[in-house]
Amino acid sequence: MVDFGRVLTAMITPFKEDGSVDYDVAAKLAAHLADNGSDTLVMCGTTGESPTLSWDEEYQLFSVVLQAVAGKALVMAGCGSNSTKEAIAATQKAAKIGVHGCLQVVPYYNKPPQAGLYKHFQAIAQVTPDFPVLLYNVPGRTGQNLLPETVAKLAEIDNIIGIKEASGNIDQASEIRRLTPPSFQIYSGDDSLTLPLLAVGAKGVVSVASHLVGTQLQQMIQAYHSGQVQQATEIHLRLFPLLKALFITTNPIPVKAALQLCGWQVGSSRLPLCNASPEVTLQLGVALKELGLI
């Protein structure tokens, strides 16, 4: 089984002033992340603004980032869709490009029942049986919750290796852990809940904050797993204001603003997302200064 590590960064997609993807900055940022705590880069998920990227742009990003971090980090491709046929095609293409696994979000907007969710993920996994699949449950965005019982059934499929659990519900994460084998990997989908979820059996986090504090998040998780719970708690509490500030408005608006404050020319977000307001930027600046990042 591929080990995707403990800190998986849900990477932003940089844009140029004309709105096109800035592949050069993407490569530089990816290399920086790989050198600063990221075990795996998750491309073209929510944080990567996948709803406004074309598949061709996504495939090129997979290739560019794969080359930029070769030998230093793994690459996971966001291949999810609310069309099973489209998700299968994207997954097959990503596997051919050579990325190490794929992220599959719960189908959004059409709100399939649990039986439909099971069949959706089963169909994707069966088409590429040697390609690792990480489920992604984020009901606040998709409108549907992937229930622990369904996750447990999906965990029986060999190449469905784990879940990015972003329901914000620790009881749900506990139930997933109770119903699945130890080899099934649970990752927090919320930065501020990483430490609490470690306590109920999570392995790590698919993180937004790791763009800025990847090394510290890695230290926190390693401290917890090595039994240094107090040290892990101290790191969590030190990072907490930034972890919350990064979500005071729709992700990835704040993290892009924070990266710009740190000197990264990542551009704005594509419409219908927009730039951070002066108030959001001010709050981010305060949190970054407290950590000595600017």
Q: Which residues carry out catalysis?
A: 136, 164
Return the structure tokens found at 1. Answer: 């089984």
Return the structure tokens found at 265. Answer: 């020319």
Pairing of strands 40-43, 74-78: parallel
Rounded (10°) angle between helices 55-68 and 84-97: 30
Asked if 172 and 165 count as a contact pair (C-beta separation under 8 A), the reply is yes
Q: Which residues contact 268 (CB under 8 A, 6 or more apart)?
A: 15, 256, 274, 275
Distances (CA, A) of 256 to 157, 195, 264: 36, 24, 9
Asked if 26 and 250 count as a contact pair (C-beta separation under 8 A), the reply is no
Q: Given the structure tokens 């959004």, which residue do they identify?
A: 108
Measured distance CA(275)–CA(217) in Å, rounded: 26
Q: Given the structure tokens 């090595």, which residue do they identify?
A: 226
Asked if 204 and 7 count as a contact pair (C-beta separation under 8 A), the reply is yes
Q: Strands, DSSP E only, in the chain?
A: 7-10, 40-43, 74-78, 101-105, 133-137, 160-165, 185-188, 204-207
